[in-house]
Amino acid sequence: MMASCLRVPFRMRSLLAIAAAFVTLPLAAATIDVRVQDARGGAVRDAVVYAVPEGRSLPLAKKTAVMDQKNRMFIPHVLAVQTGTSIRFPNSDDIRHHVYSFSPAKPFQLPLYKGTPANPLLFSKAGVVTLGCNIHDQMSAFIVVVDTPYFERADNGKATLAGVEPGRYTVRVWYPDMRDEPRPQTINVTGDARVAVSFVAGHAAAPPAADHHAHGNP
């Protein structure tokens, strides 16, 4: 084996070496750093940023996620998933909840129950699904279903989309109480570039985003 390899002319061998290097290197993947701030430069809570590939679709998620219910709250308050994700809705309280959504992306009802319903629900359509509980009016949450594997919930107004394949993307943002979506931004990412995108969020006329989760409120 080795001997036959050595008989390959030198030039050919170096070409092969270069080809091998390309094959063994991980595919180039870019990073998109996203900032979501309000008009005063403050961080926007619970924003979801996502980069949708243009002119091509990426394989659907075959993933599962969980939207829990505990202390009469949905946890998390905002859950982002890719289209094709199945979500379980366990009830971790000792009282019954009745979970519903009227949102076009996924209207459903889980009538009064405790524990975990047997079947998770499939979220196959992009959009924002607003959740409520028929019994507890204060319970609310959002499931943000996006047509891309590249999404992240922003912590303190910052999110990083990592491992992004080269190509053209529309970067978008959603956050609770959003009145008008900040204008989506189209970017090209190549190789292992690092691209920065920022959004300025305007809120609907409502109290500041702080503490609408009603922490610990029975």
**Which residues make up the interface to Cu ion (CB under 5 A)?**
97, 133, 135-136
Q: Count of alpha carbons within 13 Å of 184, Cβ hemisphere only? A: 14
Q: Are 89 and 115 in contact (CB under 8 A)?
A: no
Q: Tell the smallest beta-carbon distance from residue 213 to Cu ion (Å).
A: 15
Strand, helix or coil for residue 85: strand
Q: Tell the smallest beta-carbon distance from residue 67 to Cu ion (Å).
A: 13
CA distance 107 to 102: 5
Q: Tell the smallest beta-carbon distance from residue 136 to Cu ion (Å).
A: 4
CB of 111 or CB of 163, closer to Cu ion: 111
Q: Tell the smallest beta-carbon distance from residue 69 to Cu ion (Å).
A: 7
Q: Which residues pair with 34 in a beta bridge?
A: 159, 197
What residue number has its CB nearest to Cu ion?
133
Q: Are 151 and 34 in contact (CB under 8 A)?
A: no
CB of 141 or CB of 164, closer to Cu ion: 141
DSSP state of 58: P
CB of 97 or CB of 213, closer to Cu ion: 97
Q: Tell the smallest beta-carbon distance from residue 89 to Cu ion (Å).
A: 11
Residue with tokens 């959004």, as numbered in its chain = 199
Q: Tell the smallest beta-carbon distance from residue 137 to Cu ion (Å).
A: 9
CB of 72 or CB of 125, closer to Cu ion: 72
CB of 47 or CB of 133, closer to Cu ion: 133
CB of 89 or CB of 175, closer to Cu ion: 89
CA distance 17 to 40: 54
Closest CA to 187 of 54, 2, 59, 39: 54
**Strands 78-82, 140-146: pairing kind:** parallel
